[in-house]
Amino acid sequence: MQKKSVLVSLLLVLALVLSMVPSASAAPASAGMACAQTYTIAAADWLSKLSDKFYGSILAYWPLMAATNQKNLEDKTFAHIDNADLIDVGWKLCVPSKADAEAFLKTFDPNNPAALFGSGAKGQLVVGSWWTNAGEFAGLNEIFKQYKTQNPDVEIVNATIAGGAGTNFKGQLLTQLIGGKAPDSFQLHAGLEVETYSPGTYVVPVDDIYTSAGFEKVFPKDLLAMLKYKDHYWGVPVNIHRSNVLWYNKTLFAKAGIAAAPATWDEFFATADKLKAAGVAPVALGGKDGFELQHTFEDILAGTLGAEGYKGLWTGKTKWSDAKVTDALNTFKKYISYANADHDALTWAAATQLVIDGKAAMNIMGDWANGQFTAAKSTDYGWASSPGTKGIFVALSDSFALPAKAPNPANAKAWIAQAGSKAAQEAFNPLKGSICARTDCDLSKFNDYLKSSAADWAKDAIVPSVTHGAAATPKWATKGYADAVVLFATSGDVAKAQAALVAAAVDAGFPQ
């Protein structure tokens, strides 16, 4: 490409800027300039012309150079500018806001040009999550490796708290946030779960990261709608998970003479009876992590009421007194009767392991279970939509959020931006057992299950998971829905459970 030259010579501009800047000024922190927008160099461009366009002054191109070089340290798609006189067509620039540019110029000392070339991050990055199991830990570690490569002087602290779906993590995190002991970033389910952390008080918006990274162009509209709360984005998603998956052991199916996964609940129970007759445990179920029962029931609800009926439960359009909710409760009760009696003692991962080890034939669990199969190098498994949910995608998404009192906010923002990048999502998701939140990932890097999930995500009816923070307020999801399901699993009283679910909906503001 042909090099372009600035109209005003470097020495002349340097002299002019020197006359404007106090000689005693300290070098600015260019890392503090966010990208208000990005710009791609065209054939007739040069930096002084662009600084005049963006800031009304041919002398203000130093912020363009400094911000772009700083961004290059995080994201190599941005240009690295060694000489302000030499730029190439096609280079991507980071354009800071006019206010940031003016602040930079007030403190920039041309006698100390180091600030133009970016400074690597230092200090710590403390990331809170509940990812401790094989596939999820391996995936998270891949993003850590990428971050460390770009920020070698940052010490990464993996502040995990075990417990599926964040059942233990969330309470401890809230205590930390209230006490001013926040991590730098933490795992947050996309959707209404953000209410747990008093948005605007303990967690702050990350709209500026969406703008600088162009995330609204690469995340699908359905997901963006799920991520937005009170007109702000509160987390950057790293993945898409599917709740409604039936996993099965192929060898055990063959042993019982079963040719295909059941598509309806009648077929499911007929399959379970065949398995029992062949001496095979039909269902592996967990409960120890405190979310597995609610997770299973949400999928039964979706398979019984259909996509619109299920979504209506959380908007008031479908009444919890509906006869189909009664049917779903009866189905759930029957499902539990085929499961292992010690399900309260097993985590979701331990229940999945029963299927991997050939000790049980079927398990309804989200597709993070695919990460367990992958980590175990298992090939003896199949999958299908949970009964009744073909054409429905019960969705959830993991994101990373920014606490208001993050100890290292610049490092945190770089981490959050990294989590949303194409490179991070292509490394993380095949190991985690999820698909990219982005629409531009290379699916050749994903296994057959994940390719099928990506295809379904593109065409199925998308409905939000209640168990994983997307469908309902935290109070309704935990103190209403979850408590009713746990009590029902113990008592088996359909009428009492349905009355509790109706009462929970009323308490959430949806008259029944």
DSSP state of 26: P
* 471/382 same-domain check: yes
* 419/282 same-domain check: no
Containing structural domain, residue 75: 10-113
* 276/376 same-domain check: yes
Looking at the domain assignment, is residue 183 inside a domain? Answer: yes
Looking at the domain assignment, is residue 118 inside a domain? Answer: no
Two tokens, residue 44: 């007739």
Looking at the domain assignment, is residue 5 inside a domain? Answer: no
**How high is the pLDDT of residue 122?**
85
Looking at the domain assignment, is residue 375 inside a domain? Answer: yes
Which residues are CB-neighbours of 435 under 8 A, at least 6 positions away? 239, 240, 429, 441, 446, 450, 453, 454, 457
* 303/219 same-domain check: no
The residue with tokens 């800071």 is 96
* 337/471 same-domain check: yes
Looking at the domain assignment, is residue 479 inside a domain? Answer: yes
- Strand, helix or coil for residue 417: helix
Element (H, E) at 237: strand 236-237
**How high is the pLDDT of residue 73?**
81
**How high is the pLDDT of residue 31?**
55
* 336/361 same-domain check: yes
Looking at the domain assignment, is residue 3 inside a domain? Answer: no
- Strand, helix or coil for residue 407: coil
* 186/99 same-domain check: no
Model pTM score: 0.76
Domain count, the chain: 3
* 400/444 same-domain check: yes
The residue count of the chain comes to 512
Domain boundary among 433, 457, 481: 457
**How high is the pLDDT of residue 292?**
96
Q: Where are the alpha helices (DSSP H) in 314-407?
A: 323-337, 348-356, 369-375
**Number of helical (H) and strand (E) elements in the chain, helices listed first:** 20, 16
CATH number at residue 271: 3.40.190.10
Domain boundary among 113, 140, 171: 113
**How high is the pLDDT of residue 30?**
54
Is the CB of residue 284 less than 8 Å from the CB of residue 336?
A: no
* 177/223 same-domain check: yes
Q: Pairing between strand 461-464 and 232-233?
A: unpaired
**How high is the pLDDT of residue 167?**
82
Domain boundary among 84, 113, 142: 113
The residues pairing with 199 across neighbouring beta strands, listed in sequence order, are 203
**How high is the pLDDT of residue 19?**
30
Tens of each residue's pLDDT in the chain, 512 residues: 333 333 333 332 333 233 323 222 223 345 567 899 999 999 999 999 999 999 999 888 999 999 999 888 878 899 999 888 889 999 999 999 998 899 889 888 877 777 888 777 789 999 999 998 888 899 999 999 999 988 888 999 999 998 877 888 998 999 999 999 899 999 999 999 999 999 999 999 999 999 989 999 999 998 999 999 999 999 999 999 999 999 999 999 999 999 999 999 999 999 999 999 999 999 999 999 999 999 999 999 999 999 999 999 999 999 999 999 999 999 999 999 999 999 999 999 999 999 999 999 999 999 999 989 998 999 999 999 999 999 999 999 999 999 999 999 999 999 999 999 999 999 999 999 999 999 999 999 999 999 999 999 989 999 999 999 999 999 999 889 999 999 999 999 999 999 999 999 999 999 98
Looking at the domain assignment, is residue 1 inside a domain? Answer: no
* 386/400 same-domain check: no
Maximum alpha-carbon separation in the chain: 90
Query: Would you give the distance in Å from CA 177 to the centre of its chain?
Result: 20
Looking at the domain assignment, is residue 191 inside a domain? Answer: yes
Q: Which of 270, 269, 383, 281 is nearest to 330 (CA)?
A: 269
* 490/344 same-domain check: yes
Phi, psi of 228, deg, nearest 5: -90, 130
Is the CB of residue 85 less than 8 Å from the CB of residue 5?
A: yes
Two tokens, residue 308: 């619109």
Amino acid at 419: A
* 57/74 same-domain check: yes
Two tokens, residue 15: 């002299």
